[in-house]
Amino acid sequence: MLSIKDIKASVEGKQILNGLNLEVKPGEVHAIMGPNGSGKSTLASVLAGREEFEVEGGTVNFLGKDLLDMSPEDRARAGMFLAFQYPVEIPGVSNANFLKTAVNEVRKSRRLAPYDSKEFLKIMKEKMALVEMDKAMTQRSVNEGFSGGEKKRNEIFQMAMLEPTLAILDETDSGLDIDALRIVSNGVNALRDGNRSFIVITHYQRLLDYIVPDFVHVLYKGRIVKSGTKELALELEEKGYDWIKEEVAVGA
């Protein structure tokens, strides 16, 4: 479903991704780990189509289409979702109103009739239950005054509403308390249906106890330098990144 080949990208003249390859098949969960500043969020931004990030080489195929040729909104409509590391606040726009606009926009692109208010509320209720979100949150302005954890939970709620084909979660676990971590993970697991794929960016192997990945990759200096299964995450937890950095140094 997603095929990234030799992608090179820079921001403000600084090269961040240096020939990155990744292959994600339907239903798979890929975890991406790596030291701070290694390019994980950059990868997410490039996939989501953020303008500041200049793609200098390589190809990305998403569901048979050239992803790099699509506008950010078309990527979203095609089924790509990014749970932001730092969700943005939109004052005065209620969560519910924002989501209704988004969901119906996506439906329109798929030639489906827009949900009316009643249908929409019903679906929203279901999904709220999924992430144990309080009703009051949907009436508040998007992320405005939300605590760090609430923002992350709101991202997962939005994901549940938008039912993407591929979801990229950028450090959704950071800032979550133990209960919230479990709730958010349950929410993600409930959306695993054998077709939907996930790229889970995280620093902590603990999350991967809840959301069990099929593959774990280490991103370092803009490339995936090591891939393995969930055992790799355990090993990283134990040993840190130094041994990987050394391997890279030796290899180079």
Ligand X SMILES: Nc1ncnc2c1ncn2[C@@H]1O[C@H](COP(=O)(O)OP(=O)(O)OP(=O)(O)O)[C@@H](O)[C@H]1O
**Binding footprint of other proteins on the chain (CB under 8 A):** 48-52, 71-73, 75-77, 81-82, 84, 87-94, 96-106, 109, 114, 116-117, 141, 158, 162
94 backbone dihedrals φ, ψ, rounded to 5°: -70, 145
Beta strands in the chain (DSSP E): 2-11, 14-24, 29-33, 53-62, 65-66, 80-83, 90-94, 141-142, 166-170, 197-201, 215-220, 223-228
Residue of 20, 22, 28, 38 interacting with ligand X (CB under 6 A): 38
d(CA 179, CA 85): 19
39 backbone dihedrals φ, ψ, rounded to 5°: 115, 15
The item of other proteins, Mg ion, ligand X, none sharing an interface with residue 17, based on CB under 5 to 8 Å by kind, is none
The item of other proteins, Mg ion, ligand X, none sharing an interface with residue 39, based on CB under 5 to 8 Å by kind, is ligand X
Query: By CB neighbour count within 10 A (0-12 exposed, 13-18 middle, 19+ buried), where does 204 fall?
Result: middle
The item of Mg ion, ligand X, other proteins, none sharing an interface with residue 36, based on CB under 5 to 8 Å by kind, is ligand X
Stretch that binds Mg ion, among 80-88, 90-98, 203-211, 243-251 (CB under 5 A): 80-88
The item of ligand X, Mg ion, other proteins, none sharing an interface with residue 127, based on CB under 5 to 8 Å by kind, is none
Using the minimum distance from each CB to Mg ion, give the nearer residue, 81 or 106.
Answer: 81
- Closest C-alpha among 143, 146, 147, 188 to residue 164: 188
- The residue whose Cβ lies closest to Mg ion is 41
Can you give the binding site for Mg ion, defined by CB under 5 A? 40-41, 85
